[in-house]
Amino acid sequence: MEGRFDRTAEDLGNIVALEHVNVTVPDQQQATIFYVAGLGLTRDPYLMTGSTNMWVNVGRSQFHLPTSPPQVLRGHTGIVVPDRVALIRRLERTRKRLEGTRFDFKEHEDFVEATCPWGNRIRCYAPDERFGRITLGIAYVEFDVPKGAADGIARFYRNVMGARAAASSRAARVEVGIGQYLTFRETDREIPPYDGHHIQIYVADFSGPYAKLLDKGLISEESDQHQYRFKDLADPETGETLFTIEHEVRSMRHPLFMRPLVNRNPSQSNINYAPGYDAWIPGMTPQD
């Protein structure tokens, strides 16, 4: 029996989930048109239901969209959606309602790239084995970073955060959950100033990375018993700051860890309504 299975393929690393991407938006109605009507995602019905913030469910992950001057992620977010054809129809229907904004979408062979009213780019992919057994979810976030930064960023996540990370071909790839990744891709283009957007991760070893971050002076917020934050990715060998992106770090004892999220079936309407098909199940069915 020895050697029958590759047990290392099941290893995850210390970061166990990428829970949300947070960018502020100046207009909740336009955000609803783009994220809910256009992308076909679901507003969380239980939390942040007022007029100044919106949490939008994407399978087991979320976009958080508080009201404030717009923030634009320096890169793009990759999501999996169940139906490319239906997505394109929805996005086309939103064009008129978002006239005068930066909204747009373009079809590519492998994905559809949709741009929100303020310039955030969302690449939408059909379900595929490379994203794991899901039909809906945030698969990755890719950041544009300066030339020469990828190796040091990979070292930071391995040595400080205890994550599985590697660098190759001018990019660092960090595993941040089952079928979820952060990618830091080097670019020759000018990188805009950091505007405060953030991501949120859950970690199994909460205190170990905290002690290392604290020792390096990198903790930016002591949030509460279950959470802290840091912003700078510093090469553990040189101390040089390579990139800035705020991480909201939560323990697996956080009350929100593994909170069930509601996802609707965006194909349902009052015209073609089918009883029993209101909800969408993010997990893929087993393959034959």
**Nearest to 173, CA basis, from 206, 199, 139:** 139
Q: Work out the pLDDT band at 1, boundaries 50, 70, 90.
A: low
Query: What is residue 287's predicted lDDT score, i.e. its pLDDT?
Result: 42
pTM: 0.95
So what's the pLDDT on residue 193? Answer: 97
Please provide the average confidence, as pLDDT, over all residues in the chain.
Answer: 95
Beta-bridge partner residues of 61: 58
Give the distance from CA 178 to its chain's centroid. 13
Q: Specify the pLDDT at position 23.
A: 98
pLDDT category at 269 given cuts 50, 70, 90 is: confident
b/e burial code for range 95-134 (CB count within 10 A of at least 16 → b): eeebeebebebeeeeebbebbbbbbbbbbbbbbeeebbeb
Q: Is the pLDDT of residue 90 over 70?
A: yes
Lowest mean pLDDT among 71-80, 84-93, 165-174, 278-287: 278-287
Local confidence band at 132 (pLDDT 50, 70, 90 cut-offs) = confident
Sorted by sequence, the CB contacts under 8 Å of residue 102 that are 6+ apart come out as: 115, 116, 117, 118, 119
Q: What is the pLDDT of residues 190-213, one digit of tens each?
A: 999 999 999 999 999 999 999 999
For the chain, percent of residues with pLDDT exceeding 90: 89
**By mean pLDDT, which of 100-104, 256-260, 271-275 is the weakest?**
271-275
Rounded to an integer, what distance in angstroms lies between the CA atom of residue 263 and that of residue 248? 24
pLDDT band at residue 288 under the 50/70/90 scheme: very low
Taking 80 as the threshold, does the pLDDT of residue 163 lie above it? yes
